[in-house]
Structure 1
Amino acid sequence: MRERQAFQGARRAREFEAFVAGAAGRLLHAATLLTAEPPHDNPRARRLLTAALAHTYAIWDRLRGEDPYDRAREQLAVRFARGAWHQYGGLGWAHPRGRPNTGGVLRHLTPQERLILVLRMYEGVGEEQTAALLGLPLERVRAICARAMATALHPPREPAPTVAKVAPS
């Protein structure tokens, strides 16, 4: 009995390692887009990915034909949404637009806009599935995605740098 459990445990570990080898890079990139962190300095994205993969490993035996990538992506989205809720006070998720970071054009988006845009455009998740995952009406997902796309394509201008005046001597 123990030999059988050990064999199954080893098989489970090998299967999960193969999954992580194939999916972790793309999931990390999605997490980095969500957090709007620079790719070379993304501790929040790495924590999100680690938690999502840990959850996926915990339910690995119960997947029964489900796509583990879908489950890991779902966990990534849910954990990001939960974190944004706590950090920004809700999924309307207002935050100071243009906060200082180097997250590219996505830094101009609210966390909710980033989440929907990443799920829809980067991950290719359908509108209906995105709406169901986030518990939002389909029309709301459409509107947020359109607004996020417009902002990403035409980001607000950065304020002009201030020039220090030199006192005449």
Structure 2
Amino acid sequence: MRAVGQRAGSYTEFQAFVAGAAGRLLHVAILLTGEPEPARRLLAGALARTYAHWARLRGDDPYDFTRQELCAAFARTGRRHQGGHGVLARLSPLERLVLVLRIYEGVAEEVTAAQLGLTAERVRVLCNRAVAELR
């Protein structure tokens, strides 16, 4: 009986997390993909992976984990999302990813580099190039 009660509590906590964070995460996904429907699919997958790891996330920030999952999914499928609509559409998928993480989400350069498997210098160059392109 206790395991069922623990799972129910976890589900309630997860629901509260989604209620509070889904709007911002969806905005991140839309910035990345340039389209609402692919963004919803990316976010749904990231939230599913977050829920699957929910019990192990104790003490960690579920928002950071979900954002990492969202960005990893976008990085794997970025070629499918080239173009789209919006001001970021003319950027490459990697430039969009770096720009959204660094500027919109405020993730540190070193953390962004580690998440994407790049050097900090490469992240800096990509971010500067993306900002210059948008000007």
* TM-score, normalized by the shorter chain, greater than 0.5: yes
Give the deviation of 1:69 after TM superposition. Answer: 0.2
**Residues of 1 paired with 2:61 and 2:123: CA distance?**
24
Q: Is residue 45 of structure 1 aligned with residue 27 of structure 2?
A: no
**Residues of 2 paired with 1:140 and 1:9: CA distance?**
42
Structure having the larger proportion of residues in helix? 2
* Structure 1 unaligned regions, length at least 5: 89-94, 155-169
Give the deviation of 1:7 after TM superposition. Answer: 0.6
Give the deviation of 1:5 after TM superposition. Answer: 1.2
Higher RCO (C-alpha 8 Å, min separation 6): 2
Q: What is aligned with 1:33?
A: 31
Give 1:126's match in structure 2, choosing from 108, 112, 125. Answer: 108
Deviations along 1:89-120, one digit per CA (max 9) or x if unpaired, are: xxxxxx6xxx4x4x221011010000000000
* Structure 2 unaligned regions, length at least 5: none
User: How do 1:14-93 and structure 2 match up within 5 A?
Assistant: 14-37=12-35, 42-84=36-78, 87=80
Give the deviation of 1:151 after TM superposition. Answer: 1.2
User: How do 1:99-114 and structure 2 match up within 5 A?
Assistant: 99=83, 101=84, 103-114=85-96
**Residues of 2 paired with 1:83 and 1:62: CA distance?**
26
Task: Tell me the matched-pair count.
Answer: 135
Q: TM-score, normalised by structure 2?
A: 0.95
Give the deviation of 1:82 after TM superposition. Answer: 0.4
The one-letter code sitting in structure 1 at the alignment partner of 2:13 is: E
**Residues of 2 paired with 1:150 and 1:20: CA distance?**
34
Q: Which runs of 4+ in 1 moved over 6 A?
A: none
**Residues of 1 paired with 2:43 and 2:33: CA distance?**
11
Give the deviation of 1:59 after TM superposition. Answer: 0.3
The one-letter code sitting in structure 2 at the alignment partner of 1:147 is: R
Q: What is aligned with 1:150?
A: 132
